[in-house]
Each structure stands twice: as structure tokens, then as C-alpha cells.
Structure 1
Amino acid sequence: RRELQDGDSVPSKLDYDAIIILGGPMNVYEEDKYPFLKDEDKLIKEAIKMEIPTLGICLGAQLIAKAAGARVTKNIVKQTHQKEIGWYKVNLTDEGKNDPMFKGLGESFDVFQWHGDTLKQDESIPSGIQLRACGICCGFDYLLCAAFMNKKLRIIPLLTFIYLVGIFFFFLYSFTQIDLNLTLSTSHLLYAIQQFFQRIGYFQRPLSTFLYISIVLLLYTLYFILYTIAKKNRLGNKNLWTLIGITAGLLFLSYPAFSYDLFNYLFDARIVTLYQENPYIHKALDYPQDPWILFMRWTHRTYPYGPGWLAMTVPLSFIGFQKFVMTLYLFKALMVGSYLASIVAIKRIMQVINPSHTLAGIILFALNPLVLTEALISGHNDIVMIALGLWSVYFLIIKRYWWSIVLLLISISIKFATVFLFPAFVNSFWHYKSREKINWEYVVLISLAGMMVSVVAATFRTQFQPWYLLYILPFASLLVHRPAVVISTIIISIAGSLQYIPFLYTGNWDPPIPTILNAIMVGGVLISLLVVVFQRRFIVK
């Protein structure tokens, strides 16, 4: 036992099985007034480096957080504007409930406290530091810390590296699907590389299918592991955003491998910018001399989207100067930006309705291999529509109603599907008018249900497409604390990714492939239901 405030020196050698750091009347940033805090900070940093189990209580928790890189500041809790001085409730987190150290205390208990400082919850808790409990004076942006335990996971850098290797191979694999009528570059070297990938995709289909299955299986495995780590608060905010940023950057450069829709977006805007015609009246087949026709599909249809999408894409077509590759990547930049905007919206919403599960919610959407396929590789405009829909929900939650309505209307003007968010908005406005407290989790549930109806409606109108799942996956990620939602999200996403295997193997969508695809999707839904039922019964027992 060392009493540093009484003049005891810090140990010169850390030959301890564990370290407990207690409280005190000083603040962590008062090192000039209390010089021993500097020595204590060095000791804690060394303990973290040596991976010695370290428990901090009160000031001790803040000292550990500071030593690990957190930002400790004066408490500015919006709801209370007060310090925790006296007897207050302490609530255990999920990690605290499972920690034998707190066994028998219950989920919450009275503790004498003397808190005046805080740290930012979602950004300042570093990777490897677990929050075990917190006081009741918590806003959604800030929280008063009661206990930390250092538990560094050295495996995280390895998992991150393997995940990014998987993303890199997914990026490379996309070029196996380059249309045989399309030449991306006139460079002899690049054309030779393009032909190498095309030979795999078109003339070595069993190998191509094996590579796709291997890459997707690897990504789903790492997706689940990283989600589990984030669920336990062992994945840092910085690590996650690094993963997301590198993933988005690599897949931005990928070829739109699994759909020709992006080419149709380009040509629809080209009808306006090059031919000065109305795409609602004219179709691609009306311009048979156009060289882009050679590598397109669905050339017989007129413009199927709303005016909002045309307003977004026509400027990109102008900026692209009718250069195919330049215009292609301008459109892909819009998709990547919408993907990132969706993630930020999910983060903002989670900070309001379920702050302790923010990172897990982000991962459930952002690293989902199906989301990466449909939003970043194939570049479907559904991601733009859903990004605006998510932000409209966020502004609804923070009571910026005009922004909320405007963004929802713009979202609907792209592809109409988000019209099914209206019931959630009506419910919120009704409660607001009645001056009743709004249950935002219930609003998210209504939104999820509405978008599920949208998927069903789109399926009956044509046929099911994997990118329709972009309608529901963002809202499912907001309910990450519900095991049934997480299980269904992962299993149905896997079923969506499997939809491409028959085409990759055979090179066509002819019968009986449509029947096989329906069986895969129905099977995915049934399996998820069975797993959810089994999981609930297991918990009850």
C-alpha cells in the first residue's frame, strides 16, 4: 500500500499481480499542484504496458483513463449540471455484470461518491479499457466513471490486418467481373492485367466461385469476431474508424462487379447532359450508336427513379465530361460518401437511444460484407436514399423537424422506398403534439417494420434483389442490443451474399437459378427464425 499524497514514492519495480488505484480530492489535471500525480501517471502507463490487471475507483478510474489516452474534463452533464457528492446509485455495465468482482451486488447499488470530472464516452475510452460501472449523472455525450479494468487485446491488430487483407482481395476480385466489351484503360500493361482477371471470372468459373466464397466467408467470420469484440467494449473508436476508412477507400476503387445498375445511372444522366433529352421518355436503346451501349444491360427501360436522383447525378455527368472512367468514379464517390454519412447518422442516433452500444451498432452495419458489396462495390443508389432517410430520423429525434421532413422528402424523391418511414414520423409527431414522452426505440422499430414492408413490396413488384436489404440493415443496427435482431441481420445478410454464387458459377440467370435464389433467401429467413427461437428458449432455461 502506498499513500502518495502523504509522501510515499511510487514503486520502482512493478512486481505485482494486480494494482488498485483509489480516489482522492484532487483532479487528474492538477499535476502542478500535486506533483506526485505525474509519477502516478508514469506508473499506470507502465502497468498498462505490462498488462497488469489494474482497477481504478473514483479518481483512480480517471487516472487510468488519462494514462491510456482519454481526455478527462470537468463534468458538463447536460441533464443535471451537478456533481456526484454523497450516496448515489452505481449501475453495472454488461461487462460489470459478468465480472466476478461484482458478484452479489446486483445490477445497481448505492455507493458513496465524490465526483466532479468526466470523460467523453464514445471517443475518449481507449481500446483495451473496459467500463465496469457508471454513476447516474450521465448524459448521452458524457458519463461519470466509477470503475475501469485494463484488459488489452493484442489480437485486435492481427484481426484488423487480416480483415484488411480480405478487403484487398475483395477489391481485386471485383475486376474478374469486368464486362468483356469494356476496356478500362488503353495502357497495354493495364489491359493485360484486366484480361488476366477476366479470364478468371469468365473462363475459370469454378475457380472464380471458389475465390468469391472464400473471400466472403473470411469477411463474415471477421465481421462477427469484430462485432463480438466491440460488443464487449474492447475495440477502440479510432481502430474502428481506421477500418472503415481504409475499407471505403479500397472498395471505392473497385469495379462494380455484381450489378450493371451503376452503368444505367451513368447513361440516364448522359441522356440529359449529352443528348439533351428527357430520360423519362427516352431510353438507352434510342441511341444505338453510343459506345456505352456495348457493356450495358436493361437498355430497354426508361428512367425508373425519382427526380431527386436525376438532380444529384446530372451534375456528376457534367463534371465527368462524358469520360466513362472519370464519370464512373464520380458516381462511386457519391456512394462512398453516402455510406460514410449513413455510418455517422447511425452513430448519432445510437448516442441518443443506446450510447453504450454505439460501436457495436456501427460495426453491425458498416462492416457487413453485404453492405460493402451493394453500397461500395456495386454502387446501388439505395445507399444514397437510405443515408438521407437515416439523417431524417436523427433530426426527428433531436427535434429539428423541418430538416427532418426536408431530408425525408429528398430521400423519397430518389427511389420512393423510404415513404414507408412515414408511420414512424406520424407516431413521433402525435406524441409530440400530445406532449407525451417519445420512446425512440419504438420509433426505430416502426421504421424497421416500415422498411421491411418496403422490401416485400419491391420483391412482389419485380423479384427479390440482395441490395433491397440496404433498406433494413441500417435500422437493424440501431437495435443491436436485441439478440434476435443481430442474429437475423447476420444470417439474412449471408443469404443475400450467397445469391451471387449461382451466376458466378454458371454465367447466367436462367432457370432453375431463380428458384435456387428464392430457396436461398427463404432458407435464410427460416434459419434465422429457428435460431432466434432456440436462442430464446435457451435463455429462458
Structure 2
Amino acid sequence: MNALYFISLFLFTILSWGFVDANAPLPKIASLHPIIYFQTIYPTVWYAGSVGVLFVWYLWTLRNIKKALVSSKAVWLLIAGTTAILIWSYPALSSDIFNYIATAKVTFFYKENPYIIMPIDVPNEPMLSFLHAANKVALYGPVWIMLTAIPHWTGLGNLLRTLFAFKVFIAAWYVVLCYLIWIESGKKPWALAFFGLNPLVTISTLVDGHNDVVMMGLALVSFMAIKRRRFVMGVTLLIASIFIKGATIALVPLLFFKTSSWQRVWYWASIAMYVIFFLSPIREEIYAWYFIWPLVFLALVEKQSLLHAASYGFSFGLMLRIVPFFYTRSWSGITPMVKKIVTFVPPVISTLIYGKTPRR
């Protein structure tokens, strides 16, 4: 089963390069690009099939961990292998990482204020030929923009090198977040695998390079500091987390939560992030990678609950939201309805299964 998993990851990495924008000055696989980029049925079947295989493997792995058949060392090896393969993929499902690159370029190369100057305001900027959000000012907080100086300078002005610098930067935060979860759980392999091997997490982070793991890494370490009575450090880190993306502001009420049980803290933290996840359509819409937010704290909740059951369904369904677009190449028509169906039907099914499953 592990062999099938790694074969799927390898194929995912190769085929992802078929999604390179035709106008982007990035390498393209001549025989693959016309099939993936301009066809509909092939990428639809490939992606939906890959998601299915990855989730079956994920649930199989968690079940084996529950049976004490998989150790922490084995989980870490799986995480290492997953990272080593997916780091080479192209961000096929989202263009956000290019927005990070463009904002960093406006800030550190052109030395402009990214909250005032949009990429489109920069004349003759090469990225404008393929950038999807060139007409927007910076969408993220100042802490994130300061952190992007690292991959920006590492990229040395080359787009491909900068792309991989950002991907490696995000992947490093993913590994750090996995390590924090593992340590805080008492080095339990299940907690590590629940988060670190979830396909939604690995694809959103290692393939598409979303910065949510940075925000959540700072949030988790802030609570770990507070747990160890380092209150100033903890509050400072939580503020830094909020100034990455803003979603972790939902955790602020927990600073005043009086309890001796950190299991209760993790439980309510996961609920808080569930709530902010559901409120995300107020700003724009629900995105798959937003579900990383509650998953971080759910991994630390030892007793299996309805929230865990729902998380399996949401993780699976959210990754399918892009499937109707692959098939129709349109965000209108039937696509919005299908997105709603695949988002909410799987968690309903997974919670119903949980409710009918006898527990010891």
C-alpha cells in the first residue's frame, strides 16, 4: 500500500507540470502540457483518482497506527518521503504562491509599499503576463511579508529558483509544525500522522505552497509557550500569527480560558478554528487549505469525537471542489453547485458513519 502511495505522489508531481501557465517563463513538458492544460477529461480523472488513492491510503495508515503497527519513526519516514517528492511539483491547484512572490518583489525589489502599490502598477513587470491577482494590494499581514524576504533573496531574481525557494520555505514550516504537534502530543504517531499525512495538508502545503502552516505554526508554539507559563512570549507569538493571515484572531478568547486541562484547550481551539473556517465565505469563499486551521488542534485532541469524524469528510470533500472546474474550465454554470455538494456531503456521511459505529 505504501508503494502505491509513493507512486501516486510521483505521478502527481510529474503531471502537475502540465498545469504551467502558457504565458509563464517556466519549463514545460512538451508532450504533457497540451494534454493537461488544454484538455478536460484527463486532468479531471487524474486528479479525482489521485485524491481517492491518497485518502484511502491515509485512512488505512491511521487504522494501522491505532493497531500499533506503525511507529513514530515510520510516520516520520513517510513525511520525509512525501516532502522529498512533492517539493518538486508545480503549484497546479492554486496561484497563491505567485502572489506571494509578486508581493515580495514589490516590497524588496521595487521597494514599494505593497499595501498601496499593486503588481499591475509596476510597469514592464514580467510576472504580469501570467499573474492572476495583479490588481490587488497585499492580502496578508506584515509579519508574512517580512518573512518572505528570505525566499525572495534566496531566489536571486530568477522566477524558477524563487518558486522553489518559497516552496522549500513553506515545506520547512510544515515539518516544524509536524514536529510541534508530535512533541505536544507526547510523541504519539497517530497525532503526527493525522495532521502530517492528511492529503489536504500535504497537497495544499507541499504542492501549492500555501502559507497557512506558517500562521498555525506560530499559533501552536504560542500556546505551547503559554502552557509553560511564558506568557509574554506566547502572546507575542500569537500576535505574530494573527499578522500572517488573521484567522488565528479566533484563538484570542482562549487566552482567558481558565482550565487545568489542556485537552479542553485543544478541543476548544479546534472549535474556534472550525468557526472561523465556516465564516471565511464572508470574505470570499471557503478554500480547501483553510481547513488546515482546525486540523492542527484536532491532532492534539486524544479522544475521538464528532469533530474528528467530520474532519475526514471535509478533508476529502474540500479537495474535490476544483474537480468541476477541471472538467468545465468555468467557475460558473454547474460548478458552484457541485462545489457545495462535494464540500458538505462527505462530512455528513463521515459523521453518520461515526454515529453508527460502536465505540469501546
Q: Distance in 1 between matches of 2:308 and 2:115?
A: 40
Count how many residue pairs are aligned between Structure 1 and Structure 2. 360
The question of whether the paired residues in 2 share the 8 Å contact of 1:266 and 1:327 is answered with yes
Structure 1 stretches (4+) deviating beyond 3 angstroms?
none
Partner in structure 1 of residue 4 of structure 2: 162
The question of whether the paired residues in 2 share the 8 Å contact of 1:360 and 1:480 is answered with no
* 1:439 maps to 2:261: yes
Partner in structure 2 of residue 364 of structure 1: 194
Q: 1:307 aligns with which of 142, 160, 167?
A: 142
- Map Cα deviations across residues 282-330 of structure 1 (whole Å, 9 max, x no partner): 1111125211111110211111211101110124323322211111111
| TM-score of the two chains, using structure 2 as the length reference | 0.95
Q: Distance in 2 between matches of 1:234 and 1:350?
A: 18
* 1:486 maps to 2:316: no
Which amino acid counterpart does residue 254 of structure 2 have in structure 1? A
Q: How does 1:400-479 map to 2 (within 5 A)?
A: 400-427=230-257, 430-431=258-259, 438-479=260-301
Q: Distance in 2 between matches of 1:486 and 1:315?
A: 36
Which amino acid counterpart does residue 477 of structure 1 have in structure 2? A
Relative distance call for 1:286 and 1:423 in structure 2 (3 A) is: same
The question of whether the paired residues in 2 share the 8 Å contact of 1:348 and 1:394 is answered with no
Partner in structure 2 of residue 395 of structure 1: 225
Q: Matched residues, percent identical?
A: 29
CA-CA distance at 1:513 after TM superposition: 1.1
Partner in structure 2 of residue 173 of structure 1: 15
Partner in structure 1 of residue 105 of structure 2: 270
The question of whether the paired residues in 2 share the 8 Å contact of 1:479 and 1:485 is answered with no
CA RMSD, 1 decimal = 1.7
Q: Distance in 1 between matches of 2:232 and 2:270?
A: 22
Gaps of 5+ in 1: 1-158, 186-190, 432-437
The question of whether the paired residues in 2 share the 8 Å contact of 1:308 and 1:413 is answered with yes
- Map Cα deviations across residues 145-187 of structure 1 (whole Å, 9 max, x no partner): xxxxxxxxxxxxxx332222221122122212111112324xx
CA-CA distance at 1:270 after TM superposition: 0.5
CA-CA distance at 1:453 after TM superposition: 1.7
2:80 is paired with a residue whose SS is helix
- Map Cα deviations across residues 262-282 of structure 1 (whole Å, 9 max, x no partner): 000000010122222111001
Which amino acid counterpart does residue 296 of structure 1 have in structure 2? L
The question of whether the paired residues in 2 share the 8 Å contact of 1:495 and 1:520 is answered with yes
Partner in structure 2 of residue 144 of structure 1: none
Which amino acid counterpart does residue 512 of structure 1 have in structure 2? I
CA-CA distance at 1:402 after TM superposition: 2.9
- Map Cα deviations across residues 183-205 of structure 1 (whole Å, 9 max, x no partner): 324xxxxx4xx222212212332
CA-CA distance at 1:484 after TM superposition: 2.8
Partner in structure 2 of residue 259 of structure 1: 94
Q: Distance in 1 between matches of 2:6 and 2:92?
A: 19
Partner in structure 2 of residue 384 of structure 1: 214
The question of whether the paired residues in 2 share the 8 Å contact of 1:393 and 1:404 is answered with yes
CA-CA distance at 1:483 after TM superposition: 4.6
* 1:374 maps to 2:204: yes
Q: Distance in 1 between matches of 2:305 and 2:16?
A: 33
* 1:502 maps to 2:324: yes
The structure that is helix-richer by fraction is: 2
* 1:323 maps to 2:145: no
* 1:196 maps to 2:31: yes
Which amino acid counterpart does residue 524 of structure 1 have in structure 2? P
Q: How does 1:28-427 map to 2 (within 5 A)?
A: 159-185=1-27, 191=28, 194-351=29-186, 358-427=188-257
| TM-score of the two chains, using structure 1 as the length reference | 0.64
* 1:511 maps to 2:333: yes
The question of whether the paired residues in 1 share the 8 Å contact of 2:23 and 2:130 is answered with yes
- Map Cα deviations across residues 423-458 of structure 1 (whole Å, 9 max, x no partner): 22221xx45xxxxxx111100011111111211222
- Map Cα deviations across residues 36-57 of structure 1 (whole Å, 9 max, x no partner): xxxxxxxxxxxxxxxxxxxxxx
1:282 is paired with a residue whose SS is coil
1:499 is paired with a residue whose SS is coil
Q: Distance in 2 between matches of 1:480 and 1:288?
A: 54
The question of whether the paired residues in 1 share the 8 Å contact of 2:311 and 2:347 is answered with no
The question of whether the paired residues in 1 share the 8 Å contact of 2:247 and 2:276 is answered with yes
The question of whether the paired residues in 1 share the 8 Å contact of 2:309 and 2:347 is answered with no
